[in-house]
Structure 1
Amino acid sequence: MKQESVKNVLLLLAGAFVYSVGTQYFIVPAQIAPGGAVGIALMINHLTSLPIGTLTLLINLPLLVLAWFYLSHRFTVRTAVATVLVSVVLDFLVTPICPMYGGDRLLSSVYGGIVVGVGMALIFQAGFTTGGTDIAGYLLQKKFPHYSIGHALMIIEGIILLMSIFVFQDVDAGLFGLISVYVQTKVIDMILYGSDAGSQAVIITQHPQKISQRVIQELERTTTVLPARGAYSGSPTNVVLCTVRKSEFVRLKRIIGQCDPNAFVMVNETTEVLGLGFKGFAEAI
């Protein structure tokens, strides 16, 4: 337990530092606002030259107060700790010594998204969150449990990106900001979920053993066979569940088509696969 706590503290410190470097070195000179509380802080900084970290903390304060009353105290405390730490590191450690990237603005936006994404992923891995839209999302979910939070947050991020066009007086600010947000999201997903993303196939077939045998022999994977019955026909059938890496999916489709051309197949993308043949649980924790 102590070792796990030390690991989380180190991840949080490393994440705060990497996040701050990405913001100061790449995002600030690109003159973009890649969403969230820090995006609003960057716009205010552009107009007033006030410290970005302090502004981010001030923007998060009312959200933290709401989170304390409407969400869990544990979540609020951990979010507050990460927010304060990132603000302090950014304003008092990174900004005074870190230079700004002076190259191409597009590269600045892309690499800013990469570095900030790495920092945020490390913070998330430590069990903390940077606040901003994360808190807004939880609060919206609390208030409107059946509403699409993803759509709501997308609208919020879109408004921030739109505002950045007028603040920086440049259409490219919104476009480059969108690129940075996209790259950031992909980097976070890649680090948190790893490279073991795969495809899950749900196969309704009359030849489950034939398909399973070839999957075992050719892909060195296994399957789960479930008995089923068609609701319309009432006829007995079988459902074969199989998860493979994305690079193996074309071969799986070929096997299914050759074994049972009349099979009905549904495919779902999996963000992470744990267990035999994939990443072990020890690596994932």
Structure 2
Amino acid sequence: MFTKNNLRDYLMISLGVILVAVSLHFFYFPSNLAAGGISGIAIIMGKLYPVISKAIYILVLNVVFFGIGFLFLGKVFGAKTIYASFFMNIVLAVLQSLVGSIHLTNDMFLNTFYGTALSSVGMAIVFNFGGSTGGTDIVAKIISKFFHFDLGKSLLMVDFIITAGGLLVFGWEVGLFSLLSVLINGNLIDRFIEGTRTAKEIMIISQKSEAIRQFIIEKLDRSCTMLKGYGGFTREDTEVIYVVMNRRNYIDLKNFIKEVDPKAFLSVNEVREVLGEGYQDISIL
């Protein structure tokens, strides 16, 4: 059943795909940066057999890889992955028809920098909302399944092979920049994903626990958990408030506690990922 959350997910996946397509069309394709993935294969094929556009190569390769995936892995590909993979071709075709082949810069460093940055942000958005760009991810999953490698290592292995092919076809300079892009891209994707999922985990001990609880629920529109505590020094019963929230809400909460109970005790930790109601839906991961 299609819901409001599904609509949000597909809109965000579309935004991520658009960013990846822009990075390919304006930075990777013109500079022949075969930085792994299905786009890297398309760039190499486009050089060897230029009569076919890179967008067509990506479309054909996606179909082939999905067929291989169904054969070896079964029905593991969700609608979001299929949507993201083929929406990419639509965006690339639109860009080609609107602006054609274009070189914004001939500087390999600038092409690598901006292409990798845009691609990393776009892919992080796609992954964050339960999608995938398909392609060589499927090959990595097959290697992981039959040779028992970690999925991350399998994906890196596939990307290195594609980058090595780019080095043979385009030469050392382009090959080394492509390798640099592969190494940076994976790290940036992880950083961006972690950045969108981080939160503050807060434990509060205060004589004004009821006022703080009401502020969290009514003003911040969050929930919290009330724990029963026992003071080791005072030997008195006390309430401990446990809550997880984003950085902005934490600042508002801290300022409120400073006003109502300056003697309150707060323990604050940085949480790398939060799943469940009010946060990332665990069912799409």
Question: TM-score range, shorter-chain basis?
Answer: 0.5 to 0.7
TM-score by length of 2: 0.64
Contact kept? 2:38, 2:135, Cα under 8 Å:
yes
**Change in CA separation of 1:3 and 1:114 when aligned onto 2, cut-off 3 Å:** same
Cα distance in 2 between the residues matched to 1:150 and 1:74? 18
Alignment: residue pair count: 207
Q: 1:106 deviation in Å?
A: 0.8
For the structure 1 residues 95 and 281, does the alpha-carbon distance in structure 2 shift closer, same or farther, using more than 3 Å as the test? same
Residue deviations 1:28-49, cap 9 Å, x none?
A: 1222100011101011112333
- Deviations along 1:223-255, whole A, 9 cap, x unmatched? xxxxxxxxxxxxxxxxxxxxxxxxxxxxxxxxx
Structure 1 position 18, deviation (Å): 1.0
> In the TM superposition, what whole-angstrom CA distance separates every residue of 1:36-84 from its partner, at most 9, and x where no partner exists?
1110101111233322222012122222112223435251544332211
Question: Which residue identity lines up with residue 145 of structure 2 in the other structure?
Answer: K
Over the matched positions of the two proteins, sequence identity in percent amounts to 27
Structure 1 residue 152 displacement after superposition: 3.4
Is residue 13–residue 126 contact of structure 2 (8 Å, CA) maintained in 1? Answer: yes
Aligned to 1:220: none
Q: Partners in 2 of 1:72 and 1:126 — Cα distance?
A: 22
Aligned to 1:147, which of 143, 149, 152?
Answer: 149
Structure 1: tracts of 5 or more residues without a match: 199-269
CA distance in 2, matches of 1:163, 1:61: 21
Return 5+ residue gaps in structure 2 as ranges: 200-269
**CA shift for structure 1 position 197:** 6.8
Kindly report which structure 2 residues correspond to 1:75-224, keeping only aligned pairs within 5 A, or say none. 75=77, 77-91=79-93, 93-98=94-99, 99-144=102-147, 146-168=148-170, 170-194=171-195
RMSD (Å) for aligned C-alpha atoms: 2.6
Amino acid corresponding to residue 119 of structure 1 in structure 2: G
Structure 1 residue 123, shift from structure 2 partner: 1.6
State whether residues 110 and 179 of structure 1, in contact with CA within 8 Å, keep that contact through their aligned partners in structure 2: no
Tell me the distance in 2 between the aligned counterparts of 1:21 and 1:72. 32
Q: Which amino acid aligns with 1:86?
A: M
Report the counterpart of residue 54 of structure 2 in structure 1: 52
User: For residues 185 and 154 of structure 1, do their structure 2 counterparts lie closer, same or farther at Cα, with a shift above 3 Å needed?
Assistant: closer
Per the normalisation by structure 1, the TM-score is 0.64
Query: Which residues in structure 2 correspond to 1:30-41 (within 5 Å)?
Result: 30-41=31-42
Q: Is the 8 A contact 2:140 2:158 kept in 1?
A: no
8 Å Cα contact 2:121-2:192 kept in structure 1: yes
User: What's the secondary structure of 1:282's corresponding residue?
Assistant: coil
| One-letter code aligned to 2:189 | I
User: Structure 1 residue 10 and structure 2 residue 11: aligned?
Assistant: yes
